[in-house]
Amino acid sequence: MVPIRLQTAKTRLSTRPAPLRETLMVAMALDVIAAVRACPHISDIRIIGDDRAHELLIDTADRFDAVTFLKDPGDGLNGALTAGSRGISGPVAALLADLPCLTADLLTRVLTAWPDQRAIVSDTEGIGTTMLMASSGQLLRPHFGPRSRAAHISDGAVDIADRFPGEFAGLRRDVDSEVGLWDAQRIGLGPHTTSLLASSSR
């Protein structure tokens, strides 16, 4: 599941005008969806979006196989993910949409390392969460928000560690600020985000 909320897109990227922030969020989301689609371990993709995301990304379901677009119920990120996970009997994972360095190989490696229980991948700073997973028969129980890593761990989730330095760097690097965007460029951006930033810098 990939939640996308565009009506309040990336306000901390304050040096960029609102239309560009929105376009950047769309580009990052498309890179995430493309990486998920290319991962052989994933069979079903659910995009959970607000009205603006629905307006701009509804055709994504036609461009990518196995993609379903669900309407954000409007009661926050955790409520959207809880609603989106209903009816799923097998393993389920929630990924943030602002992970422009994500690749199918990264997803394959983290899913291979996934223990048979609720688990998370924490962000670069070790405070937030970029991915939440639940095994078959388990509830997702999302706790995204301030200090979500601690909240998820307190609720029994295991934090998946790198097996070598920087193994999951591209999965940990969410983009909420100019510093985050700079670091994502250092790691390596997906094609949609790369193309957008190249065109906007001309």
d(CA 27, CA 177) in angstroms, rounded, equals 16
Per-residue model confidence as pLDDT tens digits over 84-124 = 998 888 899 999 999 999 999 999 999 999 988 999 999 99
pTM: 0.91
Asked, for residue 153, whether it belongs to a domain, the answer is yes
Per-residue model confidence as pLDDT tens digits over 19-32 = 688 889 999 999 99
Alpha helices in the chain (DSSP H): 18-38, 51-57, 60-63, 77-84, 104-113, 148-154, 169-172, 178-187, 191-200
Instruction: Specify which residues 178 forms β-bridges with.
Output: none
Number of domains in the chain: 1
CATH (domain of 64): 3.90.550.10
Task: Identify the H or E element spanning 68.
Answer: strand 67-71
From the centroid of its chain, how far is CA 7? 17
Per-residue model confidence as pLDDT tens digits over 50-82 = 888 877 776 665 666 678 888 888 888 999 999
Domain that residue 22 falls in: 2-191
Asked, for residue 198, whether it belongs to a domain, the answer is no
Asked, for residue 200, whether it belongs to a domain, the answer is no
